[in-house]
Amino acid sequence: MTAQDTARPLLAPDRLDEVEGWFFDADRFLFDWLLTHQRDHGVRGDLLELGVYKGKSAILIGYHVSDGERFTVCDLFDASEAPDDSTAAEMRVYYPTLTRQVFEANYLRFHRRLPTVIQGSSSGITGQVPAHSCRFVHIDASHLYHHVRADIASARELLTGEGVVSLDDFRSPHTPGVAAATWEAVLTTGLKPVVLTESKLYGTWGPADALRDSLAERLTTHPTLWGVTEEVAGHTLLRVHSR
């Protein structure tokens, strides 16, 4: 880092709305709460995001990287990098103005250093990140069933025993493949759903009860969010809603 870099003024987290993307208030709260809760309870490990777009959620994750932890992001950034025609079509429809340069410039408005950036398909991620090294994986890349299914399998391999995965768009009308892959993982791989918002499902293959109960307790004093538990397929999960 140069002296010029350290003098460069950074934007505060409350300016995140200046970055284009999809990352809503309940999930911003949950990312902050989960990553802080892990740190406070001695859960260590690296952080990983599959699908960064222009950096909105990555910028927030970047505030939670502790000393000795690594933050890695992975994105195609360009339709020409897409692994198949259906992904290239999705890229052209939803992300026509995305470039790696835009992501990096946005990220550096908030942080002094970039995370480790992998440009390519998320299908290669287990060759780039060590197994059982991550405490948090955010899956927000392809919306196609076979890719999301593979991303979930990668997350399972990469997470530590107490690690948490966040799955974006698990219930949107335009993303049935994410819904299918998510609930398939719950029903067949032992993924425990801990909490869900309108946009994301958060789960773990590790202990879930204490984490869910701590969050439920925290929500009792939250000014704008409230939670309610529900039994689903043998799991007690917490639904989070806005007041």
Ligand X SMILES: C[S@@+](CC[C@H](N)C(=O)[O-])C[C@H]1O[C@@H](n2cnc3c(N)ncnc32)[C@H](O)[C@@H]1O
Site residues, ligand X (CB under 6 A): 21-23, 50-53, 56-57, 74-76, 83, 87, 91, 95, 98, 121-122, 140-142, 147
Least distance from C-beta 125 to ligand X, angstroms? 8
Least distance from C-beta 128 to ligand X, angstroms? 12
User: 136 vs 212, which CB is nearer to ligand X?
Assistant: 136
Least distance from C-beta 240 to ligand X, angstroms? 18
User: 23 vs 136, which CB is nearer to ligand X?
Assistant: 23
User: 83 vs 206, which CB is nearer to ligand X?
Assistant: 83
User: 48 vs 208, which CB is nearer to ligand X?
Assistant: 48
Question: C-alpha angle 140/167/32, rounded to 5°?
Answer: 90
Least distance from C-beta 45 to ligand X, angstroms? 20
What is the C-alpha separation between 26 and 212, in angstroms, rounded? 15
User: 54 vs 212, which CB is nearer to ligand X?
Assistant: 54
User: 74 vs 194, which CB is nearer to ligand X?
Assistant: 74
Q: How far is CA 127 from CA 96, 160, 167, 190, in A?
A: 28, 17, 21, 24
Least distance from C-beta 6 to ligand X, angstroms? 27
Beta strand 200-204 pairing with 159-168: antiparallel
Least distance from C-beta 221 to ligand X, angstroms? 27
What is the C-alpha separation between 173 and 55, in angstroms, rounded? 24
